[in-house]
Amino acid sequence: MNPVISARGLSKRYGRTLAVDHIDLDIPPGRIVGLVGPNGAGKTTVLKAILGLATFEGDLSVLGKNPSRQRAALMEDVCFIADVAVLPRWIRVWQLIDLVERLHPRFSREKCLRYLAATKITRSQRVKQLSKGMVAQLHLAVVMAIDARLLVLDEPTLGLDILYRKRFYTNLLNDYFDAERTILITTHQVEEVEHILSDLLFIRDGKISLATSMEEVEQRYTEVMVKAENIEQARALSPIHERSAPFGKFTIFLFEGVDRERLRPLGELHAPRVADLFVATMEGGR
Amino acid sequence: MKRLLALIRREFWENKGAFRTTPLVIGGIYITFLLMSIFTTAHIDNDLYTFREGVRMMAEQPTATRGDILYQIMLGSSVFFTVVMSFVVFFYLLGALYDDRKDRSILFWKSLPASDTLTVASKLLAAMVLAPLAFLAVLIVTHLLMAIIASLMILSVDANPWSLFLSVANPVKAWGMIAVSWFAASIWALPLFGWLLLVSAFAPRVPLLFAVLPPLVLSILQIWIDFLRTFTLKNSMAGVIRDWFFNNPAILTAEVSDGKGKVALGVPLTGRFDHAVTLANIFDRLFSLQMLGGLLLAVLFLGGALWLRHRATDS
């Protein structure tokens, strides 16, 4: 199947610094991809290029279109939620729905109203009267009512409390995602999305440092809780990262591509959390 | 077309204060002043003697004269609307491509399948067409209310408002002339509108400063250099802007001199165009060399605004 997003040598220069440095990328349909990276690594720049919000060097094709030149046409198939602050504050809920209905050929008013019925949002409220959580709910209701093929989420739950964050991702997964759609998420709260991700993209200093599926992560990476007496043996197997567990009883080692049977004698085995894998790949090789 | 209309409606929703409340307030001021003057008259004019006398003298005038006076009054009463509308449109355009960059809602607007060209066009058309239509609607309502109030007043002194002024008035002609002059003024103002949109798309902050400062500095420099060289102020930028303003096809002058009302297109201080309020004079301006130069400038500015809008994000 054709990739939804395909990049070759994608670069973005701000003055002399390369914010994005010759990235190659293929994202097939039906995946939920987490784009993870520290602040300033180039995440937002990559997203902006994909959404036609920034110019770039190299080749980039999103659903077969050049986002910089064909943004308007592309947006018929792409939806985008930046953080919760981007809905215009003056607009009323009914005006927003009315406007999107007139501008978007794939918007379903019924669906949107159905999603909104499950919230406390009323038609005549202005966005500025809504709480942050409600604005996120409103934006999500509008976006989920659009039959798009690619959904891009840039820190969509920033500043929301835990209840809204959980509900946001539950709604997304249960009511929206299917095999035809692709979702691209960036967030700092990796723990909250890791159970819904199918693929991981780590980005560091403008380069992709890891591109893998979650199944592959489970196969390739193993975390071991190593007792003090086994530490030297563990180090001999060239772990990619080590850190001490809380209360100092164990040291936790992360191995890549090492046979589990050789690791088992050292201590308890786990699949690594995405956050730990992220820290390991960011700190390792520094 | 459907999308363009949706976007223009969006502009109306966002700027209801400018496009709806403002003309309503002006209309309200007119009505209030009319009522105040009626109450003043009723209070100091014993048994409305002077008012009766005025009505009688008016009735003695030939029909054509009465019709002409009414026509002049209607055109003249549009001047206040025109001036306020200019300010409204000026500040609307200054914020049109700036506000959504500031509050980051541009990220939402750009996530909708509407091209930047369509967006810029919707803002330009809101200034050129929506604003005049909104102000015209309120102006018409104001005229009708004033006619009703005046009729009641005339009825109260046992005169006949129909034969006195309602039957001789030609409101459609006046409204039509005002509408044509306003739309012509929109076209005349295209270089300014283009400049404001360009600044609005460009300014990192305080767009007003960026809009006013460059022409001001340039004008002062030119005036100074020109003065040093030739001791004249002929072709300076300030002179061009002044001529542009004085030759505006909108009715900007309404005065009463020698007991006669007089309205004029623009400000009748330059000899290049005829300032009498006629369709011919309005179109004379629109098909002039000056207009052509203005259009070229407008195309340049609008192209720049579009280019900047295409590249604009929230930062």
C-alpha B152/C-alpha B29 separation (Å) is 19
**Which of A8, A1, A80 shows the shortest CA–CA distance to A47?**
A80
Residue B14 in contact with partner chain A when CB distance is under 8 A: yes
> Which pTM does this prediction carry?
0.89
List C-alpha distances in Å: B58 to B35, B53, B61, B147, B159: 20, 9, 5, 16, 11
**pLDDT tens digits, residue range B37-81?**
998 888 887 778 888 888 898 889 899 989 999 999 999 999 999
pLDDT at B231 over 70: no
Of B274 and B84, which is predicted with more confidence? B84
Residues of B65-104 as b/e, b for ≥16 C-beta within 10 angstroms? Answer: ebbebbbbbbbbbbbebbebbbebbbbbbbbbbbbbbebb
Return the residue in A45, A69, A86 with the most chain B beta carbons within 10 A, the one to mutate for interface testing.
A86
C-alpha B76/C-alpha A78 separation (Å) is 53
To the nearest whole Å, the CA of A62 is away from the closest chain B CA by 14
The order of strands in the sheet holding A199-204 is: A78-81, A150-154, A182-186, A32-36, A199-204, A207-213
Judge: B113–A53 Cβ closer than 8 Å, yes or no.
no
The position carrying tokens 């920034």 is A54
pLDDT at B30 over 50: yes
List C-alpha distances in Å: A161 to A8, A131, A136, A157: 38, 11, 11, 8
Residue B103 in contact with partner chain A when CB distance is under 8 A: yes
- What does residue A258 show for φ and ψ, rounded to 5 degrees? -100, 135
- The per-residue pLDDT for A286 is 41
C-alpha B84/C-alpha B124 separation (Å) is 18
pLDDT, tens digit only, all 286 positions of chain A: 688 999 999 999 888 888 899 999 999 999 999 998 888 888 888 999 999 988 899 999 999 999 999 999 999 999 998 876 689 999 999 999 999 999 999 999 999 999 999 899 999 999 999 998 899 889 989 999 999 999 999 988 887 888 888 888 888 888 888 878 999 999 887 888 888 899 999 998 888 988 889 888 888 898 888 888 888 888 888 888 888 877 777 888 888 888 888 888 888 888 888 888 888 887 765 4
The position carrying tokens 């496009």 is B19
Q: Please, which residues 57-76 of chain B have a Cβ atom closer than 8 Å to chain A?
A: none
Return the residue in B107, B116, B309 with the most chain A beta carbons within 10 A, the one to mutate for interface testing.
B107
Query: A251 forms bridges with which residues in the sheet?
Result: A226, A244
C-alpha A44/C-alpha A58 separation (Å) is 17
Residue A85 in contact with partner chain B when CB distance is under 8 A: yes
- The per-residue pLDDT for A1 is 66
C-alpha A200/C-alpha A281 separation (Å) is 12
- The per-residue pLDDT for A99 is 96
The position carrying tokens 């390369």 is A18
Q: From the list A48, A89, A104, which residue is nearest B113 (CB)?
A: A104
**Burial of A189 per CB tally in 10 Å (0-12, 13-18, 19+):** middle
Q: From the list A86, A90, A99, which residue is nearest B6 (CB)?
A: A99
- Non-local (6+) Cβ contacts of A251 within 8 A are A225, A226, A228, A231, A234, A242, A243, A244, A245
Q: Angle, to 10 degrees, between the axis of helix B171-188 and the axis of helix B78-96?
A: 30
- Non-local (6+) Cβ contacts of A232 within 8 A are none
C-alpha A187/C-alpha A38 separation (Å) is 10
To the nearest whole Å, the CA of A239 is away from the closest chain B CA by 41
Contacts of A100 in chain B (CB under 8 A): 112
Residues of A216-249 as b/e, b for ≥16 C-beta within 10 angstroms? Answer: ebeeebbbbbbeeebbeebeeeebbbbeeeeeee
C-alpha B256/C-alpha A112 separation (Å) is 60
Share of chain B above pLDDT 70, in %: 97
C-alpha A217/C-alpha A196 separation (Å) is 14
Judge: B113–A87 Cβ closer than 8 Å, yes or no.
no
Q: Angle, to 10 degrees, between the axis of helix A132-144 and the axis of helix A93-103?
A: 30
Q: Which chain B residue lies closest to A48 (C-alpha atoms)?
A: B313
Judge: A91–B6 Cβ closer than 8 Å, yes or no.
no
Structure tokens given for A112: 């949107």
DSSP state of B20: I
Residues of A70-99 as b/e, b for ≥16 C-beta within 10 angstroms? Answer: ebbbbbbbbbbbbbbbbbbebbbbebbbbb
Residue B243 in contact with partner chain A when CB distance is under 8 A: no
Judge: B103–A89 Cβ closer than 8 Å, yes or no.
yes
Residue A79 in contact with partner chain B when CB distance is under 8 A: yes
CA B68-B73-B76 angle, to 5 degrees, is 125
- The single-letter code of the amino acid at A173 is L
To the nearest whole Å, the CA of B294 is away from the closest chain A CA by 30
Judge: B113–A52 Cβ closer than 8 Å, yes or no.
no
List C-alpha distances in Å: B38 to A3, B77, B145, B149: 77, 18, 14, 9
Residue A76 in contact with partner chain B when CB distance is under 8 A: yes
Q: Please, which residues 34-53 of chain B have a Cβ atom closer than 8 Å to chain A?
A: none
Contacts of B106 in chain A (CB under 8 A): 86
Q: Which chain B residue lies closest to A45 (C-alpha atoms)?
A: B313
Residue B286 in contact with partner chain A when CB distance is under 8 A: no
Of A167 and B118, which is predicted with more confidence? B118
Residue B21 in contact with partner chain A when CB distance is under 8 A: no
**Burial of A256 per CB tally in 10 Å (0-12, 13-18, 19+):** middle
Which H or E run includes A44? Answer: helix A43-50
Structure tokens given for B252: 């900007």
To the nearest whole Å, the CA of A21 is away from the closest chain B CA by 20
DSSP string, B191-249: HHHHHHHHHHHH-SS-HHHHHHHHHHHHHHHHHHHHHHHHS--SS-HHHHHHHHHHT-S
Return the residue in A99, A135, A158 with the most chain B beta carbons within 10 A, the one to mutate for interface testing.
A99
Q: From the list B2, B100, B107, which residue is nearest A102 (CB)?
A: B2
CB contacts < 8 A (A, B): 78
The number of residues making up chain A comes to 286
Q: Which chain A residue lies closest to B11 (C-alpha atoms)?
A: A91
How many CB atoms are located within 10 Å of the residue A170 CB?
Answer: 11
Structure tokens given for B39: 């109450």
Q: From the list B7, B111, B313, which residue is nearest A79 (CB)?
A: B111
State mean pLDDT over B126-134. Answer: 97
**Which of B237, B248, B312 shows the shortest CA–CA distance to B282?**
B248
Contact by Cβ (8 Å): A48, A86? no
Judge: A75–B112 Cβ closer than 8 Å, yes or no.
yes
State mean pLDDT over B89-107. Answer: 94
B279 SS3 class: helix
**Which of A183, A175, A193 shows the shortest CA–CA distance to A118?**
A175
Of B234 and B209, which is predicted with more confidence? B209
CA atoms within 13 A on the CB side of A163: 3
Contact by Cβ (8 Å): B132, B239? no
Contact by Cβ (8 Å): A241, A279? yes
C-alpha A19/C-alpha A45 separation (Å) is 7
